[in-house]
Amino acid sequence: MALIHLEHPIRSTPEEMLRRFEAEVVLHPSFRAFVDHYEIRGNQVTIQGTQGISGVVDVSPGLMTVDLTLSGMAAFLKPVVEAKLREALGRLF
């Protein structure tokens, strides 16, 4: 099992950041291969995956926090997943 924790300052509203995060990250085919279900509730995205990626993305005014747990084969891909996630977050801001 591997953990990813990222924090990134934001300037947009939490609602706008969640829309952009969903479009850029959650709906990406490579990410979706490891995620079975996601739910956006308020300023939070809950990600559930039996294939390896689960966690929470929390957006508050000024800060986006990503906490993911990688299990199974996804745990071996932690460096790649983390790099791609950082790259995607960099495009969002």
> Can you give the residue ranges of every domain in the chain?
2-92
**In the chain, % of residues over pLDDT 90:** 47
Q: Check residue 63 and give its pLDDT.
A: 93
What one-letter code names the amino acid at 73?
A: M
CA angle 27, 88, 68 (to 5 degrees): 70
Q: Check residue 60 and give its pLDDT.
A: 94
Q: Is the pLDDT of residue 7 over 90?
A: yes
Q: Is the pLDDT of residue 84 over 80?
A: yes
In CATH, which superfamily holds the domain spanning 2-92?
Answer: Kinase associated domain 1, KA1 (3.30.310.80)
pLDDT in tens, 68-83: 999 988 889 899 989 9
User: Which residues have C-beta within 8 Å of that of residue 33, sequence separation ≥ 6?
Assistant: 51
Could you list the beta-strand ranges (E) of 2-91: 2-9, 37-41, 44-48, 53-60, 63-70
Can you name the residues that pair with 13 across neighbouring β-strands?
none
| Residue 54 pLDDT class (50, 70, 90 cuts) | very high
